[in-house]
Structure 1
């Protein structure tokens, strides 16, 4: 099937309004009318001009054609393939009166339905192609506290929709969206019918919210688990201690086992992100990081020297020895 560029046939742009399209059609119809024109292929040109005008003069058909034009694909053999989900409503229910104007092209018949013979250009369409609106993807950045507790946010996005002349225009749209508690990084929330409008009575597309987390000063996230690197003093790691630890819902007490090392991991149950409905599914994973003061007092240096002599049999680099 050969693609028909109706805008090119009428010599107008995609943004042309109805009056411009009508004026161009009248000019070309007079130029190619078979009764008066001496142009080569005047009859065929006249048919193409009439077919183009039949589609572009009708806002709904023009909107359908614009969707087809943008989303269809041109094959290597020169043919044209409509989008995979293109479908017609009321198929086979349209009828035309026979006239000497001739038939529509195969392209028209394939897209808008077989004409069943000739037609008069004054005949109206009794059916239209139905095309679902496109889904719109939108990334929304949340603070971790918002993801944990749930929140309501107002978002602004831009969607395409046909105007009164059937021309696809960009429109700004604002929505208030509710984010449930416990959403995770990369999760998608589908808002049905909030995407781009359909054409020919087709359903509107959906809005797909993709959750992103804004960087947090000290928490990180792994799925439903919240991660924290916790600095501890060397004596706390050696002797054990109970320390205060921040969580996404407030501070808790955490017991550091004696003899802990940097990289040791401790788990605080139920302090991660929650599932939909509030059911807890994540934990907080605490990774210890043994830290030393930047400077030591003379007394501390003496104590470190005594410790070194007392633990002289300990070699932390024994793994490198053969």
Structure 2
């Protein structure tokens, strides 16, 4: 292992994080053992570069090294380390985690593009293709009942996305094999479709329940009766009890969203609110004035003044 990670990567001590990453990627493309099997010198150079990158890509470790607090291996006190110890160590960049998987897949992709797909060594590398992320907006009712929509890919191809009933905003659908092609004999990646659900002007989803606010007239609140109400399945008639106040909630069983893993559905909650007429005429004013003289009451009784 080199005592100087900057020298191992061939960069200056004031190199930026981007310059350090670029240097590591260059060496990995030239010297990775999977691309140069049996080349001991290239393997050693890659290991040194990977160890250096593992240290310098971490701002805290880099600062500790620059201040002399740790050595190139990340130890607080410099100590000699032989190849056997290094090869078996958990932090070995060739055997362990130091090589970033995203970096390496990009490196191999660039390497194979540069070789034009020719050459036995390049063909010996096999890895899954990249996953691809997409966004898809769907309607409120499509999220509730499920649907099928077409998604246009960057290359112009269109794929079918089956939306399961009851999907929620922000949930991701995985389409296996619809991502980037694999490397060599590797399988293709997946398409990850993140769903956003458009708001509905009437219905509001709360878990598996559907909530609506339903306005009623003064006379409906006082006298009660049957009134129409919308549901996600269509219009229904609901009973308003006589003497209903704003905030009273009616429950329609089984009129909500299908529960996950079950044939049962949630409920619809109808919150009633009393709506005043557009215009309060003289007849209503006179009636309420007379009524108040003999029927006054305090709905705020018991509240702090």
TM-score, structure 1 normalization? 0.57
Deviation of 1:237 (Å) = 1.9
Task: Tell me which of 54, 65, 77 is aligned to 1:75.
Answer: 54
CA offsets per residue over residues 275-318 of structure 1, 9 Å max, x none? 46882322211111111112122222222113322321x21222
CA offsets 1:122-164 (integer angstroms, 9 cap, x no match):
9832863333223223222111222233222111133xxxxxx
2:159 is equivalent to residue 175 of structure 1: yes
Equivalences for residues 1-322 of structure 1 within 5 A:
51=30, 74-77=53-56, 81-84=98-101, 124-125=120-121, 128-158=124-154, 171-275=155-259, 279-312=263-296, 314-321=297-304
RMSD: 3.8
Is 1:135–1:207's contact at 8 Å kept on the other side of the alignment? Answer: yes
* Contact 2:54–2:99 (8 Å) recurs in 1: no
SS state at 1:75 partner: helix
Between the two structures, name the one with larger relative contact order (CA 8 Å, sep ≥ 6). Answer: 1
For structure 2, the 5+ residue unaligned runs are 2-7, 12-26, 36-51, 58-71, 73-92, 112-117
CA contact (8 A) 1:194 1:205 kept: yes
Matched position secondary structure for 1:243: strand
Give 1:84 deviation, angstroms. 4.5
What SS does the corresponding residue of 1:238 show, helix, strand or coil? helix
Instruction: State how far apart, in whole Å, the 1-side matches of 2:132 and 2:181 are.
Output: 11
The runs of 4+ residues in structure 1 deviating greater than 6 Å are: 85-88
Contact 1:231/1:289 (<8 A) preserved:
yes
CA contact (8 A) 1:147 1:183 kept: yes
Q: Indicate conservation of the 8 Å contact 2:223/2:242, yes or no.
A: yes
Structure that is richer in strand per residue: 1
Q: Partners in 2 of 1:140 and 1:148 — Cα distance?
A: 15
TM-score by length of 2: 0.60
TM-superposition CA deviations, 1:36-74 (whole Å, max 9, x none): xxxxxxxxxxxx9x958xx99xxxxxxxxxxxxxxxx94
Q: Deviations over 1:244-294 (max 9, x none)?
A: 101111101111122322222221111112246882322211111111112
Give the 3-state SS of the residue equivalent to 2:120 in structure 1: coil
Instruction: Give the whole-Å Cα distance in 2 for the aligned partners of 1:321 and 1:87.
Output: 68
Given that residues 180 and 276 in structure 1 are in contact (C-alpha distance below 8 angstroms), is that contact kept between their aligned partners in structure 2?
no
Aligned residues: 218
The answer to whether the Cα contact below 8 Å between 1:234 and 1:290 also exists between their aligned partners in 2 is yes
Point out the structure with the larger helix share.
Answer: 2
Name the SS of the counterpart of 2:194 in structure 1: strand
> Following the alignment from structure 1 to structure 2, what is the Cα–Cα distance between the partners of residues 298 and 200?
85
Deviations 1:205-231 (A, max 9, x none): 222222222122211222222221100
For each residue in 1:156-214, what CA deviation from the matched residue of structure 2 results, as whole angstroms up to 9, or x when unmatched?
133xxxxxxxxxxxx44321222233323333222211122222322222222222221
Report the Cα distance in structure 1 between the residues aligned to 2:289 and 2:206, rounded to whole angstroms. 41
